[in-house]
């Protein structure tokens, strides 16, 4: 019995039609005389009825149907009596009166119920992912993922971009994240790496003249997972020639505008807000600020300076800073709640968090005695009023920013200021090009070595690497970094200078990136690009906090796929073919 309609299709207008439906038994309700089955497929759910006057054989058959049996039903569409309509169901005006049922396959007792969202533990869901994917929530998110990538392809193709595939077996480049390695059988002792991104290849495609490129590209990074990070993930990789940052921004904004309209029926602003890295850190304590709420961080240096509070003056003397954050209406916070806020600050290495409550006539509690002299000046500088809680951190600039940024995020969350239905994009620009590696005592590329320094720093780059801003940018959405990109270096002389600053010898550069540098000696065009993370983006717009919810077959937090049990031990024969011998730690099980 091949289906003539899907389980989401039938409406009042189909009354009287004879149909065949195929699907899974979602619910089965037997009332003795009358029998209801909710039949489910990708498209929806339709109520099947076996009436009291149906043939005895059919009624007995219905009795035997269990959860998730895959069945075919022949029947006639009929409108439900008015009082029996279900407005919560798309097909709730009708039902199908069954005349024949065929069991296509049976189903064992389920390890967990197929509900809208499963409440089973994640590992169990992943072990039975094929069942978990039947849930309404997973079905909806996988469909959203399809629609999203479809809209991306639609927009970029229309803008003249070519989708070009790049290899997934490539040369290992030790910079950046750890590579996943793939041994070569034919070349004993040699390894391919899986790409961390198509970075070098897309730049080479620019040299080849494909001046607008994109790819929905799988990337691999052998680093520990996080809620928003998976060791295997997908990015929308984009690169363009003869462009400036403005062109990359325009395409990205246009693309997401199109995608949000198509997938969420939502209008985005034509251009996204821009914040410099320094401003983002100073005001929001993060280079990926959540702009759905304000809660700005304010400098407290001036008040700290003239106070007699040693923890603050000490931080200033050692070159640090003091910053404050107003928690609106939180003067009633208990010691316990304040300690929880402090814990958020401590995660990011703050040694402590000072606080005081704003009362009508002065500060109360915590460190108030040091600052009551400046009550009016402080409340006006911080825009604080009675009933607020002021929290402060004194430390190095970076620790202070990060710590208060964490407190800000916690407050935004706890006070319900972060509306999950709002999507606040912003560009973070003017990133430093280099960062100093304390342990190694050298400068390193903050992003990667192929990003262009901004023109005004070209003369002073070697003299003061720390001050150099790159033509680098991130796209941030609701507190997550969702894309990162830059204008690349196409001038071999500038590239050589960058290598020198990060302590990369010409031999080393030649060994690792020789093919790229060589390509760049054959008329490379100026170019730049960006790479939005598809999974993370989908996670945010589907209001999830785990990236696993938008990936059909994700790995768990330790890189295992409980369904197919990868990674796994392999045959000695396979290893021998690959010229590999194992040197395992004692504790490792090898089955």
How far apart CA 353 and CA 331 sit, in angstroms, is: 15
Regarding 47 and contact with RNA (CB under 7 A), the answer is: yes
Nearer to RNA, 67 or 457 (CB): 67
Distances (CA, A) of 127 to 20, 26, 115, 494, 565: 33, 21, 17, 51, 8
Shortest distance (Å) from residue 49 CB to RNA: 5
Shortest distance (Å) from residue 177 CB to RNA: 4
Contacts of residue 36, defined as CB under 8 A and 6 or more positions apart, other chains included, come to: 27, 28, 29, 47, 48, 49, 50, 95
Distances (CA, A) of 174 to 230, 440, 441, 524: 20, 16, 19, 24
Q: Residue 296's closest CA among 397, 412, 197?
A: 412
Which stretch, 27-35, 145-153, 275-283, 385-393, contacts RNA (CB under 7 A)? 27-35
Nearer to RNA, 192 or 260 (CB): 192
Shortest distance (Å) from residue 374 CB to RNA: 33
Nearer to RNA, 266 or 517 (CB): 517
Contacts of residue 417, defined as CB under 8 A and 6 or more positions apart, other chains included, come to: 292, 293, 295, 411
Shortest distance (Å) from residue 37 CB to RNA: 9
Using CB under 7 A as the binding rule, the residues of this chain from 246 to 305 that contact RNA are none
How far apart CA 356 and CA 333 sit, in angstroms, is: 11
Shortest distance (Å) from residue 219 CB to RNA: 9
Which stretch, 54-62, 182-190, 368-376, 550-558, contacts RNA (CB under 7 A)? 550-558
Q: Which of 16, 32, 160, 319 binds RNA (CB under 7 A)?
A: 32
Shortest distance (Å) from residue 80 CB to RNA: 4
DSSP structure string for 462-479? TT-GGGPBBSEEEEEETT
Nearer to RNA, 27 or 576 (CB): 27
Using CB under 7 A as the binding rule, the residues of this chain from 126 to 165 that contact RNA are 126
Nearer to RNA, 521 or 588 (CB): 588
Binding mask 163-202 for RNA (x = CB under 7 A): ------------xxxx-----------------xx-x---
Cβ-based burial of 356 (10 A; exposed 0-12, middle 13-18, buried ≥19): buried
Do the Cβ atoms of 41 and 24 come closer than 8 Å? yes
How far apart CA 498 and CA 56 sit, in angstroms, is: 83
Nearer to RNA, 126 or 327 (CB): 126
Nearer to RNA, 88 or 573 (CB): 88
Regarding 31 and contact with RNA (CB under 7 A), the answer is: yes
How far apart CA 327 and CA 404 sit, in angstroms, is: 11
How far apart CA 440 and CA 426 sit, in angstroms, is: 33
Do the Cβ atoms of 346 and 406 come closer than 8 Å? no
How far apart CA 430 and CA 407 sit, in angstroms, is: 25
Shortest distance (Å) from residue 320 CB to RNA: 18
Regarding 359 and contact with RNA (CB under 7 A), the answer is: no
Using CB under 7 A as the binding rule, the residues of this chain from 215 to 254 that contact RNA are 221, 223-229
Conformation bin of residue 267: beta by default, left when phi > 0, alpha when psi is -120 to 50: beta
Using CB under 7 A as the binding rule, the residues of this chain from 79 to 118 that contact RNA are 80-81, 83-86, 88-89, 92, 95, 109-113
Binding mask 555-584 for RNA (x = CB under 7 A): -xxx-x------------------------
Q: Residue 567: is the preceding peptide bond cis (ω within 30°)? A: yes
Shortest distance (Å) from residue 273 CB to RNA: 23
Shortest distance (Å) from residue 221 CB to RNA: 4
Shortest distance (Å) from residue 158 CB to RNA: 27
The residue count for binding RNA (CB under 7 A) is: 67
How far apart CA 239 and CA 223 sit, in angstroms, is: 25
Q: Residue 324's closest CA among 268, 381, 362?
A: 381
Q: How many CB atoms lie within 10 A of CB 219?
A: 22
Shortest distance (Å) from residue 481 CB to RNA: 9
Q: Which run of H or of E encompasses 61? A: helix 56-63
Spell 183-208 as b/e; 16+ CB within 10 A means b.
Answer: beeeeeeebbbbbbbbbbbbbbbbbe
Shortest distance (Å) from residue 32 CB to RNA: 3
Binding mask 393-412 for RNA (x = CB under 7 A): --------------------
- Percentage helix, strand, coil for the chain under 3-state DSSP, each rounded to 5: 30, 25, 45
Q: Which of 36, 191, 397, 457 binds RNA (CB under 7 A)?
A: 36
Do the Cβ atoms of 342 and 325 come closer than 8 Å? no
Pairing of strands 162-163, 212-220: parallel
How far apart CA 199 and CA 341 sit, in angstroms, is: 40
Using CB under 7 A as the binding rule, the residues of this chain from 427 to 446 that contact RNA are 444-446
Nearer to RNA, 80 or 250 (CB): 80
Q: Which residues face 241 on adjacent strands?
A: 527
Shortest distance (Å) from residue 260 CB to RNA: 25
Shortest distance (Å) from residue 583 CB to RNA: 15
Using CB under 7 A as the binding rule, the residues of this chain from 479 to 498 that contact RNA are none
How far apart CA 75 and CA 88 sit, in angstroms, is: 23
Using CB under 7 A as the binding rule, the residues of this chain from 328 to 357 that contact RNA are 347-348
Q: How many CB atoms lie within 10 A of CB 347?
A: 12
Regarding 74 and contact with RNA (CB under 7 A), the answer is: no
Shortest distance (Å) from residue 508 CB to RNA: 14
Q: Which of 447, 490, 527, 536 binds RNA (CB under 7 A)?
A: 447
Q: Which of 9, 15, 44, 67 binds RNA (CB under 7 A)?
A: 67
Q: Which of 52, 106, 318, 339 binds RNA (CB under 7 A)?
A: 52
Q: What residue ranges bind RNA (CB under 7 A)?
A: 27, 29-34, 36, 38, 47, 49, 51-52, 66-67, 80-81, 83-86, 88-89, 92, 95, 109-113, 119-124, 126, 175-178, 196-197, 199, 221, 223-229, 347-348, 444-449, 546, 548, 556-558, 560, 587
């Amino acid at each position: 019995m091949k289906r003539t309609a899907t389980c989401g299709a039938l409406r009042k207008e189909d009354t009287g039609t004879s149909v065949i439906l195929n699907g899974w038994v979602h619910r089965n309700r037997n009332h003795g005389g009358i029998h209801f089955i909710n039949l489910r497929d990708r498209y929806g759910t339709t109520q099947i009825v076996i009436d009291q006057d149906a043939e005895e054989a059919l009624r007995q058959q219905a009795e035997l149907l269990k959860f998730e049996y895959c069945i075919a039903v022949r029947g006639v569409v009929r409108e439900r009596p008015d009082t029996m309509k279900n407005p919560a169901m798309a097909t709730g005006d009708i039902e199908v009166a069954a005349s024949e049922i065929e069991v296509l396959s049976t189903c064992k007792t389920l390890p967990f119920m197929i509900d809208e969202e499963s409440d089973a533990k994640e590992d169990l869901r992943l072990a039975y992912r094929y069942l978990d994917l039947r849930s309404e929530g997973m079905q909806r998110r996988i469909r959203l993922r399809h629609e999203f990538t479809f809209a991306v392809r639609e927009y970029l193709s229309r803008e003249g971009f070519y989708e070009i595939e790049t290899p997934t077996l490539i040369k290992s480049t030790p910079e950046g994240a750890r590579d996943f390695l793939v041994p070569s059988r034919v070349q004993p002792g040699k390894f391919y790496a899986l790409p961390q991104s198509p970075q070098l290849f897309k730049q080479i495609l620019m040299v080849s003249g494909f001046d607008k490129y994109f790819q929905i590209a799988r990337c691999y990074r052998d680093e520990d997972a996080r809620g928003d990070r998976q060791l295997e993930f997908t990015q929308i990789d984009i690169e363009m020639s003869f462009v400036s940052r403005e062109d990359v921004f325009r395409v990205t904004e246009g693309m997401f505008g199109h995608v949000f309209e198509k997938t969420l029926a939502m209008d985005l602003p034509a251009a996204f807000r821009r914040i410099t890295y320094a401003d983002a850190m100073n005001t929001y304590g993060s280079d990926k600020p959540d702009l759905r709420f304000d809660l700005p961080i304010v400098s407290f240096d001036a008040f700290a300076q003239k106070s007699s509070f040693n923890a603050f003056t000490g931080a200033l003397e050692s070159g640090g800073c003091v910053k404050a954050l107003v928690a609106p209406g939180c003067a009633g916070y208990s010691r316990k709640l304040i300690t929880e806020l402090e814990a958020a600050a401590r995660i990011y290495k703050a040694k402590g968090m000072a606080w005081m409550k704003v009362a009508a006539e002065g500060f109360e509690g915590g460190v108030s005695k040091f600052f009551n002299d400046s009550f009016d000046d402080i409340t006006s500088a911080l825009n604080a009023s009675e009933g607020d809680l002021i929290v402060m951190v004194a430390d190095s600039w970076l620790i202070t920013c990060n710590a208060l940024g964490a407190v800000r995020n916690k407050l935004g969350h706890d006070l319900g200021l972060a509306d999950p239905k709002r999507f606040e994009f912003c560009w973070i620009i003017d990133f430093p090009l280099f960062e100093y590696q304390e342990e190694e005592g050298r400068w390193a590329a903050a992003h990667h070595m192929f990003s262009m320094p901004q023109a005004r720093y070209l003369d002073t780059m070697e003299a003061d690497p720390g001050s150099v801003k790159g033509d680098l940018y991130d796209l941030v959405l609701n507190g997550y970094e969702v894309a990162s990109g830059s204008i690349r270096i196409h001038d071999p002389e500038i590239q050589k200078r960058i290598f020198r600053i990060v302590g990369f010898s010409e031999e080393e550069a030649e060994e690792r990136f020789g093919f790229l540098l060589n390509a760049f000696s054959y008329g490379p065009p100026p170019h730049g690009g960006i790479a939005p993370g598809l999974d993370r983006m989908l996670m945010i717009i589907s209001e999830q906090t785990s990236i696993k919810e938008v990936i059909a077959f994700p790995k768990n937090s330790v890189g295992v796929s409980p369904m197919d049990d990868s990674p796994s031990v392999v045959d000695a024969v396979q290893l021998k073919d690959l010229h590999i011998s194992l040197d395992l730690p004692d504790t490792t099980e090898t089955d």
